């Protein structure tokens, strides 16, 4: 019991130290504040939204006004309400697709790096095959073949963005296998499962965490791209579908800036928040970068 309490105290102490390092970097705090803003919108958008995003509440293509701050679209739906509700889809797709990508990439990287030999080489050649494929083209093909549901989009984005993660994890595992503490564990007869669970995985977890955060922006942009070209879920309200509607109705030519700029800016800012947090987390979790002052 006492050892468990001591271990918990050490873990809390480590987390507090990590938070102190994170807090000392302004970029991390800016990214965290931006992310908190979007998360608050996603949770409380029914409170912030002036209208139901699916209802026709005004004239078609009405300009910005006090009643409709960002005007209405081609069906008379309030654009501000749709932008607010689109936050939910972007966060959901980004986090879920990144989780799928990290799970696949980490599993393949761990197995190929630890066991190596023929099996590891086969996995790496499979990874290389995905790496040389144009990722956007592969997503478009899979989305067109499998369907346009939100679940399919999350899976498509996740299963096409794991190869670089597998490469990174494999390189780190190959390095860890040469460390003295792993060689000592092997010499006393520890099982492969024990070594991976107790020695390999905990040491690659910081790398996994930092890269998982950096995967989310790519997933958000990928979903928006698929929705923009008409391969997203037609029933989901996303920023990509808002931009698609604006483009197909010549919003840029007509000067309807309030239709396309807010959704595009939201994609940029949300992606930037994760990028800032991921950059700082890489520094927080990697003591060598902190020493260099990167």
- Report the alpha-carbon distance of residue 31 to residue 185 in Å, rounded: 40
Q: Is the pLDDT of residue 37 over 90?
A: yes
Does residue 132 fall inside a structural domain? yes
For the record, the structure tokens of 223 come out as: 């979903």
Owner of token pair 């939100």: 150
Residue 72 per-residue DSSP state: B
> What is the rounded radius of gyration, in angstroms, for the C-alpha atoms of the chain?
23
pLDDT band, residue 13 (cuts 50/70/90)? low
Does residue 174 fall inside a structural domain? yes
In angstroms, the Cα distances linking 67 to 46, 86, 187, 266, 278 are 17, 20, 73, 22, 39
Instruction: Identify the domain containing residue 227 by its residue range.
Output: 2-56+67-292
Does residue 61 fall inside a structural domain? no
Q: What is the pTM of this model?
A: 0.86
Residue 13 or 138, more confident: 138
The predicted-structure confidence for 171-183, as pLDDT tens digits, reads as follows 888 888 888 887 7
For the record, the structure tokens of 79 come out as: 């654009």
Q: Is the pLDDT of residue 1 over 70?
A: no
In angstroms, the Cα distances linking 131 to 122, 139, 167 are 14, 13, 10
- Report the alpha-carbon distance of residue 242 to residue 219 in Å, rounded: 17
pLDDT average, residue stretch 207-227: 90
| Residue 292: per-residue pLDDT | 47
CATH number at residue 27: 1.10.3720.10
- What percentage of the chain carries pLDDT values higher than 70? 91
Q: Count structural domains, the chain.
A: 1
The predicted-structure confidence for 235-244, as pLDDT tens digits, reads as follows 889 999 999 9
Q: What is the 3-state secondary structure (H, E, C) of 4-41?
A: HHHHHHHHHHHHHHHHHHHHCCHHHHHHHHHHHHHHHH
pLDDT band, residue 293 (cuts 50/70/90)? very low
- Report the alpha-carbon distance of residue 78 to residue 62 in Å, rounded: 9
- Report the alpha-carbon distance of residue 221 to residue 94 in Å, rounded: 8
Q: Where are the alpha helices (DSSP H) in the chain?
A: 2-23, 26-48, 79-115, 117-132, 135-146, 150-159, 163-176, 180-187, 192-195, 201-228, 239-248, 251-254, 257-285, 287-292
Phi/psi at 143 (5° precision): -65, -40
The predicted-structure confidence for 40-60, as pLDDT tens digits, reads as follows 999 999 999 999 999 999 888
Does residue 62 fall inside a structural domain? no
**124 in helix, strand or coil?**
helix
The predicted-structure confidence for 135-158, as pLDDT tens digits, reads as follows 888 899 998 888 888 899 999 999
Pair 168, 132: CB distance under 8 Å: no
- Report the alpha-carbon distance of residue 272 to residue 274 in Å, rounded: 5
pLDDT average, residue stretch 279-293: 64
- Report the alpha-carbon distance of residue 99 to residue 93 in Å, rounded: 10
Of 26-30, 53-57, 64-68, 118-122, the range with the lowest mean pLDDT is: 118-122
In angstroms, the Cα distances linking 258 to 224, 234, 282 are 18, 22, 36
Does residue 235 fall inside a structural domain? yes
With vertex at residue 131, the alpha carbon angle to CA 129 and CA 136, rounded to the nearest 5 degrees, is: 115
């Amino acid at each position: 019991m006492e050892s468990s309490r001591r271990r918990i105290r050490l873990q809390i102490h480590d987390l507090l130290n990590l938070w102190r390092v994170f807090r000392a970097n302004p970029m991390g705090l800016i990214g965290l504040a931006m992310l908190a803003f979007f998360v608050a919108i996603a949770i409380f958008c029914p409170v912030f939204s002036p209208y139901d995003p699916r209802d026709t509440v005004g004239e078609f293509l009405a300009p910005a006004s006090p009643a409709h701050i960002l005007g209405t679209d081609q069906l008379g739906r309030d654009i501000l309400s749709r932008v607010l509700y689109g936050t939910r889809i972007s966060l959901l797709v980004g986090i879920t697709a990144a989780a799928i990508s990290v799970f696949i990439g980490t599993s393949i990287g761990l197995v190929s790096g630890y066991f190596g030999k023929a099996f590891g080489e086969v996995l790496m050649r499979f990874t290389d095959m995905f790496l040389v494929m144009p990722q956007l083209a592969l997503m478009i093909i899979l989305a067109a073949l499998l369907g346009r549901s939100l679940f399919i989009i999350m899976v498509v984005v996740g299963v096409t963005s794991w190869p670089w993660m597998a490469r990174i994890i494999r390189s780190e595992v190959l390095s860890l296998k040469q460390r003295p503490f792993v060689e000592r564990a092997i010499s006393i007869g520890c099982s492969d499962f024990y070594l991976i669970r107790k020695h390999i995985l905990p040491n690659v977890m910081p790398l996994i965490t930092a890269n998982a955060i950096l995967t989310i922006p790519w997933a958000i942009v990928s979903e928006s791209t698929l929705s923009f070209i008409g391969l997203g879920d037609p029933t989901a309200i996303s920023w990509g579908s808002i931009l698609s509607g604006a483009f197909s109705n010549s919003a840029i030519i007509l000067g309807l800036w309030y239709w396309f700029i807010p959704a595009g800016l939201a994609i940029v800012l949300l992606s930037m928040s994760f990028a800032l947090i991921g950059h700082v987390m890489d520094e927080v979790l990697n003591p060598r970068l902190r020493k260099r002052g990167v």
